[in-house]
Every structure is written in structure tokens, then in C-alpha cells.
Amino acid sequence: MLDKLFYFIMVPMVYVAVAWCVFWIVVKIVKILRAPTTPPTLRIFPDDKGPEDRNTGGLPAALWDTFTMPSVLKYNPLLWVFLVVFHVSLAVLFLAHLDLLPQVNIMSAESADMIGNGAVGALLTASILYFLFRRFRSPLRELSIPADYLLLFLIFLLFLSGDLISWGNSWSESGFGLAKQDFGLYLRNLFAFDLSDPRQVLDHPHYAIVVSHVFLANLFLLVLPFSKIMHVFFAVPMNALRRG
Amino acid sequence: MDGKMKQELLDVFASKLNQSVRMYMDNCARCGACIEACHVYASSPETRYTAVGRAQNLRRLFEKYHKYSGKIAPWLGEAVELDDNWMKKVYETAFTCTGCRRCMTYCPFGIDTQQFQAMAKAMLIAADMEPKVLSMLADVSVAKGENIEATKANFAEACRQLEAEVIQKWQQEAGKETIPLDVKGAHVLYVALAGKHSIIPAAAIMNAAGENWSLSYFEAVNFGAFVGNPVVTKNIAQRIIDEANRLGVREVAICECGTAYRVMRHMTGTHDFKVITFLQLIERYLRDGRIKVNKAVNNGRTTYHDPCQIARNGGVYEAPRYILSRLTDDYVDTNPTKSANWCCGGGGGLVVVGDKDFRMMSAKVKADQVRATGAKVLATGCENCHSQLSDVNEHYQLGMSVEFVSSMAANALVR
Ligand code: SF4
Ligand code: SF4
């Protein structure tokens, strides 16, 4: 029974979660595109721009605002540090997961370490804990809703389960029971729509931890389109509106 | 609230879900970066006065009526039913916010609280809960547009009665009209407010500059924008656009009224004429040497309050500063200033709505800011701000003199 559940989580549920996530992201984007257009301008004028200044900086300025968050740096530098650490680490984490594929070799093919040797996960986990705990303090506590806490908690568990794997491989003598290369084979099979049982390539008692990690990742993908994480897609357009 | 009314309000709510609002509804991270931005919160730290707190009042309705999560697990996003009680929250979103958009400069996404405010105001109009004084004034403006021919003679007579006061400030050459009306081919159509303080200094300055100008029959203020009715806003602006087109003017100069300027300049599309603030016109006259001013007339350290709709939301920062640099040697900027300047607390129609206690409470941070400049003269370029700052000056016993930049310039005119 447990084997069946593990198989479901590791193979069909992954496909369902990815398809669900992509489908609803597209629906959300289409819904916004089909909504009535915004008022003529929502522009805010920086101190050095006058009303005749047609050069609003356009997309480059919106990208700059999105990726460097100058307003947060100015008014809340500590939050800015954690936001930057979090987002940069997230980008590295994405690369680290790509690097699991046998075809991609950012780290050497034989290396037991993920990119960052476990530090990326540590930074992400620390940031997520900061984001979570700052919500326990007033005034943010009054403004937070249950979804904010649950989402952060889900991401925290997701990171922690990933940390167990990468920290085990990078930071302990005996290592995690399964190596990076094993995950590579599992991922390759998934990409190839090979529906065989992942146990064949991930045959170790630590398998349950990998299943937990994948389960949490699946959950994350299932809720993503309905969560505020959709700002991944809308932060640039929203900033472009402010730039005019 | 009966079912029919509820549906009507929900329809209004849905009709306001344009692209930007939909993005703002879904993507606020509730990161709290905007908390400190609002002058109301800075003056009285209650979370309902934060930008995100106000937006949540509408976001919870969105959650309930426009999101699957709100239907399946309403507790997740704290979805709420629309009822009479919740409409009080909607009122709070609309009329404790001045629409100054300072919070937008704090938010990493640039979420525009004024869009939520507009949505809330539309719902209040549908529920007949908007401040009646604003709707009434907006209706009067529209009616005036429809009956302009009937009122022209009275308006011309009223202008004639102001001529002596204009001449006191600037003696026109013989044969030239002091307050010209209906001038075909005028270079400038000046749109004033319904008050002589907005006409006399401007007339003196334009006459001193030898401008070929015409006074608009219509007042600049757009109560449609204050009350949040886009149709009425457009109708009120359209009267001026039609007049400018009929006269074939090159420029429409809006008097010192922030909302009127922003609506005309940034929200009515492009025209055959340019829209500028009167501040920009004075600046040009000074730079071109068309008027001269005497610094000795204005005494005491002077500071300038950037009206939100002219500065942050309108882009006019340098013109008033240039004018003041020609009027005094003792100018000091407020801190923060320009796009970061604190709102005076009177915008969004709040000065007209009349809850003075709230306005004074929310302006504490403004009072502290201007007091810290040590200035004796507080200049500004907006009627709303001027009214609010005059009240703030009195309430907080700042001992300042609150002045329009145009009045200061007109009083300092020399040949
Ligand atoms: S700063 Fe922007 S994203 Fe953050 S809580 Fe305020 S409105 Fe929401
Ligand atoms: S627009 Fe101004 S008044 Fe309204 S929430 Fe933002 S900062 Fe406060």
C-alpha cells in the first residue's frame, strides 16, 4: 500500500501537479489579459522626471525596480537583504535542480554536492524563517492572513526536506543514502515519460525522505497558481504600470 | 442590505476589475513594506490605516466572490460576505485615504492604492453612501457645462467686479482687457477655481507677462474625481476640453489645483493643446524675463509643500522651486521632499467631506515635518492642500503663513 502511495507521489502526482500548475497559470494570465484595460496612466514620477519626460525608462526601469527593489532597500534594508538572499538563492536552487540531470554538468558529474554545497538551502531556509517570524510581530501580524502563514510553512517544510538530502550529501561523512546522480536518473526518467517505479533507481531506506520532498514540491505546484507567488509573473507588469 | 442591492454592488465591484486591479488583488505579498508610507498610519499607528490594510477590505471581497479558494476554504484568505457592516470597511478604504499614492513608492510592485479607493468609491455611489456634498458639487459642475450660455453674462459681470483688484497688483496698458473672456486664438486658456483668490493673482501675472490669454468659463476642480465617478470626471473635464478646442488655444493652464491638473494632464488622453500647471507658466515667464519680481516682498524662511497630484502624480517638481528661488533667498525644502513628501491629509475630497477631526489627526506627521523646517512661510500649489495646511497651521499652532505660490509671485511683481 505504502509502495503504491510512494509511486503515486513520485510519478503520476508530479505530472498532475506540473500540468495543473501550468494550466492555471495560463488561465490566470489570460483572465488578466482579457480584463478591461487600466486607466490611461498609473505613473509615478521620480524626482528627476517631469511631466514632459516621455522617457520613463520603460521595461528596463521596470525590470530594475523588480529585481533590485530600490524602495524596499530605502525603507526596510533588513527585509531587502533577506529578499535578495532569498530570490538569488532561489535562482541558484533552480540551477542546482537542473544540474541533477545527467546532461547538465554545472558541478562535476561525479560530485556529491549540489551547487553551493548545501549553503543555498541554508540561506533559503533562514530567509523563509525570517519571513515567517516577522509575521508574528505587530503590525504585520494584524495584516497577515492564514494563507500567508501556511504558504510560508509549506515552503519551509519543502526546503527543510531538501536540506536534509543536500546537507546529508555535503556535510556528513556517510552522506545521504541516495546520491545526486541517483536523483538525476529519476529526473531523466520523468522527463522521458518513463513511468517505471523510481525505486529502481532510488533504492534505499532514505527513499521516504525523497518522497516527502517530492510530495511537498507537488503540493507547492498545486497551490502556486492560486497564491501570491504569482507575483513571479506579474511583478514586472505591475512595476511597468508605475513607471508609466 | 437586500439581495438586489447586494448583487448591484457586486456587479459594480466586478466592473472595476480591470487589468491592474486584478493584478493588485492577487499579488500583494502582504510584505508590509508600505506600512510606514501612509501619513494616516504615521500619525495614528492603526493597521486599518495602512495601504495594505485598506486594500484588504476589498481583497477579502475579491477572495469571496472571485476566487475558488474563497469558495472552498474562505478562512484561508479571510474571505467575507458583502453586507452593511462590510460596506463600512469599504467606506474606510475610500474616505480615510487621500489617494496620494505615497504608498506606491514603497511597494516593491508599485501597487496603486488609489485604484482600490476608486473601486470603493464606485461601490459607495451605487449604495448611495458617498458623501452627498461631493456628488452635489459634481452635479453642479456638470449642470453648469450644460447651461453655460445662460450663465455667461453673470460670469462676465463677476469678472468685471474683480478687475480693480487685479489692477491693484498690475496696471494693464490702456485698451487691454484685464480679465479677458472668450478670446479666440488665445495662447493660453487659464482655468481657475470658483474664487477670486484663484483669478486675481493669475490675471495680474499673465497681464504683466503680456500674455494673450483667456479665462475659462469653467472652474478647474473636478468633483467627479473626488467622488470617484469616472463618467462625471470625464464630463467635467470635457467642458474644458471643448472650450479649449472652440477657442483654438495653444495651452490650457490649470490653476493651483492638483486633482484638476492630474485629470486634465494625465487622464484625458492627448489633445491639440498642451496642458500645464499655472506654476509652470509662471516659471516660464520668469525664465524668459517676461515678468520680474522683487525678493524684498516675501519675508521669512520659506518652504514648499509638494501637492501629491502635482508632484508625485503629476511630475511638476522644479517649477515651484524655481519660482520660490526668485522670490526668496531663504528657501528650505521639507524633509522628506518631492516624491517622498508627506501628503497634507486633505486630498481625495477629504477637505470637502468635512471630518476635520480625522483630517487633523492624520496630519500630525505633516505638522511635525513642516515645523521642523523652521519656515515662516509655507507655500503650496494646490487649493486642497492650501485649505488643509491652513487648518493644520491653526490646529497645531505652527505660526506659519500658508500661501499660494501664485499669490506670492503676484504680490512681488515689479516693472
Ligand atoms: S508593499 Fe505592496 S506588496 Fe507589500 S503589503 Fe504593501 S501593497 Fe502589498
Ligand atoms: S494613497 Fe496615500 S492616503 Fe492612501 S493608503 Fe496610500 S499613502 Fe495612505
pLDDT digit string, tens, across residues A126-176: 999 999 999 999 999 999 999 999 999 999 999 999 999 999 988 988 888
Which A residues in the span 179-238 are in contact with B, Cβ-Cβ below 8 Å? 226, 228, 230-231, 234-235, 237-238
The H-or-E segment that residue B387 falls in is helix B383-395
CB-CB contact of A146 with A152 (8 Å): no
β partners of residue B277: B254
State mean pLDDT over B47-64: 96
Gap between the Cα atoms of B252 and B240, Å rounded: 9
Residue A46: cis peptide before it, omega within 30 degrees of 0:
no
Question: In terms of residues, how long is chain B?
Answer: 415
Q: What is the pLDDT of residue A173?
A: 84
Task: For the domain made up of B133-287, give the CATH fold.
Answer: Rossmann fold (3.40.50)
Q: How far is the CA of B31 from the centre of ligand 1 (A)?
A: 5
Residue A156, beta-bridge partner list: none
Residue B55: predicted pLDDT: 96
Determine, for residues B18 and A36 on separate chains, whether the beta-carbon distance falls below 8 Å: yes
Q: Pick the residue with more confidence: B145 or B19?
A: B19
A65 interface with B at CB cutoff 8 Å: yes
Torsion of CA A46, A230, A210, A194, to 10 degrees: -120
Per DSSP, the residues of A160-219 read HHHHHHHHHHHH-SS--SS-HHHHHHHHHHHHTT--S-GGGTS-STTHHHHHHHHHHHHH
pLDDT attached to residue B310: 96
What pLDDT does A56 receive?
67
Q: Which residues contact B146 (CB under 8 A, 6 or more apart)?
A: none
- Which domains, and CATH codes, for chain A? 2-39+70-229 (1.20.950.20)
The residue whose CA has the least distance to atom 4 of ligand 2 is B97
Closest of B353, B350, B341, B344 to residue B385, by C-alpha: B344
Amino acid at B189: L
Cell 492577487 belongs to: B26
**Ligand 2: residue whose CA is nearest its atom 5:** B51
pLDDT of B126 strictly over 90: no
Answer yes or no: is pLDDT of A119 > 80.
yes
Calculate mean pLDDT across residues A64-68.
96
CB of A99 less than 8 A from some CB of B: no
Residue that the C-alpha cell 474571505 belongs to: B79
Runs of H (alpha helix) within chain A: 2-10, 12-34, 58-68, 70-75, 77-98, 119-134, 140-143, 146-171, 180-191, 207-223, 231-243
pLDDT of residue B134: 66
Q: Which three cell numbers stand for residue B359?
A: 483630517
Of A132, A238, A239, which to mutate for an interface test with B (greatest number of B Cβ within 10 Å)?
A238
Pick the closest to residue B59 from A238, B69, B95 (CA basis). Answer: B69
Residue B194 binned pLDDT confidence (cut-offs 50, 70, 90): confident
Report, at the CATH architecture level, how domain B3-129 is classified: Orthogonal Bundle (1.10)
In this structure, of A197-211, B121-135, B143-157, B259-273, the range with the lowest mean pLDDT score is B143-157
Q: Does A87 touch chain B (CB under 8 A)?
A: no
| B86, pLDDT greater than 70 | yes
- Match domain B292-414 to its CATH number in 3.30.410, 1.10.3470, 2.60.40, 3.40.50: 3.40.50
Could you give the residue range(s) of every CATH 3.40.50 domain in chain B? Answer: 133-287, 292-414
- Grid cell, residue B157, equals 459681470
Residue A214 has a pLDDT of 98
For the stretch B229-278, pLDDT in tens is 778 888 889 999 999 999 999 999 999 999 999 999 988 888 999 999 99
The CA distance from B37 to B339, in Å, is 12
- Specify whether the CB–CB gap between B228 and B240 falls below 8 A: no
Q: Mean pLDDT across chain A, nearest whole number?
A: 93
**Model confidence at B12: pLDDT above 70:** yes
Nearest 5°: CA angle at B109, between B61 and B350?
60
For A221, phi and psi rounded to 5 degrees?
Answer: -65, -35
Taking the CA of residue B267 and the nearest CA in chain A, the distance in Å comes to: 6
Residues 6+ apart with CB under 8 A from A25: A224, A225, A230, A233
Please compute the mean of the pLDDT values over residues B130-155 and round it to a whole number.
Answer: 71
Which of ligand 2's atoms lies nearest the C-alpha of B37? 7
Cβ atoms B232, B226 nearer than 8 A: no
Contact B201, B170 (CB under 8 A): no
Whether the CB-CB separation of B385 and B344 falls below 8 Å is answered with yes
Burial of residue B162 (number of CB atoms within 10 Å: 0-12, 13-18, 19+): middle
Here the ipTM equals 0.93
Whether the per-residue pLDDT at B173 is higher than 90: the answer is no
Query: Which ligand 2 atom sits closest to the C-alpha of B50?
Result: 5
A78 at B interface, C-beta within 8 A: no
List, in order, residues 6 or more apart from B296 with CB less than 8 Å away: none
Residues 6+ away with beta carbon under 8 Å from B408 = B297, B298, B323, B324, B327, B377, B379
- What is the CA(B290)–ligand 2 centre distance, in A? 39
Task: Please name the amino acid found at residue B254.
Answer: I
* Separation of CA B157 from chain center: 29
Question: Do residues B312 and B306 touch, judged by C-beta distance below 8 A?
Answer: yes
Give the residues across from B303 on adjacent strands. B378
Taken in order B137, B140, B145, B149, the sign of the CA dihedral is: negative
**If you count residue pairs, one on A and one on B, with CB atoms under 8 Å apart, how many are there?**
160
> B142 pLDDT exceeds 70?
no
Examine the pLDDT at B139 and tell me if it is beyond 70: no
pLDDT greater than 70 at residue B354: no
B336 upstream amide cis, omega within 30 of 0: yes
How far is residue B112's CA from residue B92's CA, in Å, rounded to a whole number?
16
pLDDT of residue B322 exceeding 90? yes
One-character DSSP codes across A83-95: HHHHHHHHHHHHH
Contacting residues of A for B106, CB less than 8 Å apart = 71-72, 75
Q: Dig out the grid coordinates for B342 from the structure.
A: 508627506
Compare B71 and B174 and report the one with higher pLDDT: B71
As a dihedral over the C-alpha atoms of residue A170, residue A171, residue A172, residue A178, rounded to 10 degrees, the angle is -30
Q: Does residue B133 have a pLDDT over 90?
A: no
